[in-house]
Structure 1
Amino acid sequence: MSKITLIATAAMGIEALVAKEVRDLGYENVVVDNGKVTFEADESAICRTNLWLRTADRVKIKIGEFKATTFDELFEKTKALPWGDYIPEDAEFPVIGKSVKSKLFSVPDCQAIVKKAIVEKLRIHYKRTTWFEEKGPLFRIEVALLKDIATLTIDTSGVGLHKRGYRADQGEAPLKETLAATLVLLTNWTHDRPFVDPFCGSGTIPIEAALIGQNIAPGFNREFVSENWDWIGRKRWEEAIQEAEDLAKYDRPLDITGSDIDHKMIEIAKGNAMEAGLGDLISFKQMQVKDFTTKKEYGVIVGNPPYGERLGEKKAVEEMYKEMGKAFAPYNTWSVYMLTSHPEFEKLYGKPATKKRKLFNGFIRTDYYQFWEKRPPKNQ
């Protein structure tokens, strides 16, 4: 194999950000689509993208794509694909599936047919008459049908990329690490400026900011299913890990603070930061947002405050939004970025956003309100 096609899956609304990350890693022929970014690369890209992509959900190998309106067509076209190039003889290869607006709408049937077609192809490839035992490395295959187009992929990540490996504990409604990184990357923050999260919860946003600030690969602290694949090989993984180590700026000073009203969450956040190896870099303190004060300039405030979605919470949340607007108002060199589903946020906060961007926090449709202030002077 020289060139392979990879798909980085993404939450709705952040595909362009994932595409930028892919291009920044040096990959070309990047195509952006709903919920995914497709690009061409070599085998080492499987290691590098899994280690480095901060905002993608997972990385998959695209094995084939074709129109299928009958089960026969699905079987024959699946069987025609080069499965033996990817799947070893002892592999475990379960098939998962989904179908949207397609004639072949029975997902279990599609999964069974794809599995049967792959088994047939591998029997020819490995010259076998007996069944495969499937006791070796895992190759999770997906058949995804959208408007009668079947896309067949193999997952290279294993556990989703949002699982960085540092979150030992969390609160009730934790923000996904990938969304936290998105919130940071959508700001104008740079590592030489103060960064504050006044609703830090279990510390996810400050930790992701610190990883970005020191250029630490987000996947550095975890394992991936494709590490066990012989055709990628240990050497490629070791080279990718070494590259990540060489590019990290562990001695770069950062000014990052997380605060929360709940002292229990502050303890959890401290523990998670220690787990990420960033315990000395981030200051955590118990505090209400209305008590925010600072003598620093040109900072960035990023928060995922309560939305007031639950019964009985709305009034308190609305009052807190007003207090937040008043607390931040005196600091005209600080830019503020807030994620909430509350439709009246700007009115309660007391001023219109410079820009807002639609994002999904899980299944909740939210807006990311951005209040831009003065940028630091050049050569400061």
Structure 2
Amino acid sequence: MENFFASCPRGLEPLLAEDLAVAGVAESRQIPGGVHFVADWPTCYAANLHSRIATRILWRVARGPYAKEDDIYRQALALPWPTWFSASQTIRVDITAVKCPLRSLEFMTLRIKDAICDRFRADVGKRPSVDTREPEVRLHGFLSANECTLYIDTSGAPLYQRGLRQKTVEAPLKENVAAGILRLSGWQPGIPLLDPMCGSGTFLLEAAQIALNIAPGAGRDFGFQRLRNFRLKEWKHLLDSAMDAEKPAANAQIYGSDISPVAVRAALANLDRAGLLTAVTLSSGDILEIDAPAKAGVLVTNPPYGERLSEQDELAAFYPQLGSALKRKFAGWNCYLLSADMRMPKLMRLMSSKKTPLYNGAMECRLFEFKMVAGSNRR
């Protein structure tokens, strides 16, 4: 059994723990930003393949106290790196820190890289090269006030990169945030789902994959495939099982629209490339004018939230219209709006029944729940 850490967007830790349990993890511990867990390698593979919420899954290879830079160098030098990957592979080292007393994290990153290369030179006579753009092996250090933890990344590219979305519009939502919102909304396949401001289609792509039981990692590769201990036979069995469980593409009562024809074209291209176009109904339309596609269902969307003063003025005029449109057209629907604009419910003149703190990247947001009933929903 090995020690791992799965990271995720803040606010989604309980959902990540659920994903890990489904993958076979028996023992886990949630902290802000992720979940520590103990598992064997096939379970690590399964978590990478199936978790819709995780950002990365890191294998912990060392943890120990430090007082100065040299302590961390010696800790990294003591590890048998050449038994985990080869000198012909490219590497990248990243460090994050909380309350770390050291002056330069960039210098510490270099010291860890030097220790890895020095260990390779001592053991095999050559060293790996650094590639900061597309490394074959990613290494992570985490520094607290007095402890250093070193990890090898089993995911490679972040897990929210499903390999589906090629065309994006401004400020796209990360896929694992979208998947988390779908889970928090209580949406299940078979229930009508609408994103009326769909952008490049992130909610639609995630929902269609869920409806067709497509594993989120089925179309990409992973960091663990480039490690010496990779078990091809066990990985192939997991992947084959996931492929066998997929459902044939069919209309899934998933609807998307956007006022921008450019956004609709981007969503169309992404869904088409992913082979999910038959599951989704797309159209151009203004959220203030479109009709609900069914008598009841779940509406999820990520409306704009202005960072400039002029945008905030525009939104202050838009939100009351949005509230009116939801009351007029979406009685019987549960609506979930992600926004960093805390004024939104008040300006919409709607009472939110729930607000869940979430992060989209570094931006603190709220997922506002509005249960639309016939008649007024005002304070």
TM over 0.5, shorter chain: yes
Please say if 1:172 is aligned against 2:170: yes
C-alpha distance 77-308 of structure 1, shift in aligned 2 (>3 A)? closer
C-alpha distance 135-239 of structure 1, shift in aligned 2 (>3 A)? farther
Q: Which amino acid aligns with 1:54?
A: R
- Aligned equivalents of 2:168 and 2:93: distance in 1? 32
Please say if 1:356 is aligned against 2:355: yes
Q: Which among 246, 252, 263 is matched to residue 265 of structure 1?
A: 263
Q: Which among 272, 275, 283 is matched to residue 273 of structure 2?
A: 275
| Offset from partner CA, 1:88-122 (integer Å, 9 cap, x none) | 45443443323332233322332333334434555
Please say if 1:131 is aligned against 2:130: no
| Offset from partner CA, 1:284-343 (integer Å, 9 cap, x none) | 111111113236233000010111323322233233322222222244321000011222
- Aligned equivalents of 1:350 and 1:183: distance in 2? 23
Q: Which amino acid aligns with 1:76?
A: R
Q: Which among 18, 21, 31 is matched to residue 29 of structure 2?
A: 31
The aligned counterpart of 1:306 is 304
C-alpha distance 13-105 of structure 1, shift in aligned 2 (>3 A)? farther
The aligned counterpart of 1:378 is none
- Indicate if the aligned counterparts of 1:206 and 1:257 stay in contact, CA closer than 8 A: yes
Q: 2:90 is paired with a residue of what secondary structure?
A: coil
Deviates more, 1:217-226 or 1:80-89: 80-89
The aligned counterpart of 2:243 is 245
Q: Which amino acid aligns with 1:42?
A: D
Aligned length: 369
For 1:1-380, what aligned pairs fall within 5 Å after superposition? Answer: 3-122=1-120, 126=123, 128=124, 130-132=125-127, 134=129, 138-250=136-248, 253-294=251-292, 296-330=294-328, 331-372=330-371
- Indicate if the aligned counterparts of 1:6 and 1:60 stay in contact, CA closer than 8 A: yes
- Indicate if the aligned counterparts of 1:290 and 1:320 stay in contact, CA closer than 8 A: no
- Indicate if the aligned counterparts of 1:198 and 1:259 stay in contact, CA closer than 8 A: yes
Displacement, 1:281?
Answer: 0.9
- Aligned equivalents of 1:73 and 1:308: distance in 2? 46
- Aligned equivalents of 1:312 and 1:134: distance in 2? 48
Segments of structure 1 that go 5 or more residues without pairing to the other structure are 375-380
C-alpha distance 96-342 of structure 1, shift in aligned 2 (>3 A)? closer
Runs ≥4 in structure 1, deviation > 4 angstroms? 119-124, 133-137
- Indicate if the aligned counterparts of 1:357 and 1:369 stay in contact, CA closer than 8 A: yes
Q: 1:289 is paired with a residue of what secondary structure?
A: coil
Q: 2:137 is paired with a residue of what secondary structure?
A: coil
| Offset from partner CA, 1:25-70 (integer Å, 9 cap, x none) | 1212111112121111111233222221112111111112111112
The aligned counterpart of 1:377 is none
Q: 1:16 is paired with a residue of what secondary structure?
A: helix
- Aligned equivalents of 1:108 and 1:267: distance in 2? 42
Displacement, 1:200?
Answer: 0.3
C-alpha distance 111-294 of structure 1, shift in aligned 2 (>3 A)? closer
- Aligned equivalents of 1:252 and 1:81: distance in 2? 51
Q: Which amino acid aligns with 1:23?
A: A
Q: Which amino acid aligns with 2:367?
A: Y
| Offset from partner CA, 1:188-232 (integer Å, 9 cap, x none) | 111111000010011111111111222211111222233233421
- Indicate if the aligned counterparts of 2:319 and 2:347 stay in contact, CA closer than 8 A: yes
What is the TM-score of this pair, normalised by structure 2?
0.89
Q: 1:166 is paired with a residue of what secondary structure?
A: coil
Deviates more, 1:282-291 or 1:223-232: 223-232
Q: 1:218 is paired with a residue of what secondary structure?
A: coil
- Aligned equivalents of 1:135 and 1:304: distance in 2? 38
- Aligned equivalents of 2:234 and 2:176: distance in 1? 25
Identity %: 31
- Indicate if the aligned counterparts of 1:104 and 1:148 stay in contact, CA closer than 8 A: no
Segments of structure 2 that go 5 or more residues without pairing to the other structure are 374-379
- Indicate if the aligned counterparts of 1:5 and 1:40 stay in contact, CA closer than 8 A: yes
C-alpha distance 117-340 of structure 1, shift in aligned 2 (>3 A)? same
| Offset from partner CA, 1:251-310 (integer Å, 9 cap, x none) | 565101111111121111111011111011111111111113236233000010111323
Displacement, 1:123?
Answer: 5.6
C-alpha distance 185-132 of structure 1, shift in aligned 2 (>3 A)? same
C-alpha distance 228-39 of structure 1, shift in aligned 2 (>3 A)? same
C-alpha distance 345-112 of structure 1, shift in aligned 2 (>3 A)? closer
Q: 2:320 is paired with a residue of what secondary structure?
A: helix
- Aligned equivalents of 2:130 and 2:75: distance in 1? 27
Displacement, 1:142?
Answer: 1.6
- Indicate if the aligned counterparts of 2:91 and 2:139 stay in contact, CA closer than 8 A: yes
Q: Which amino acid aligns with 1:225?
A: G
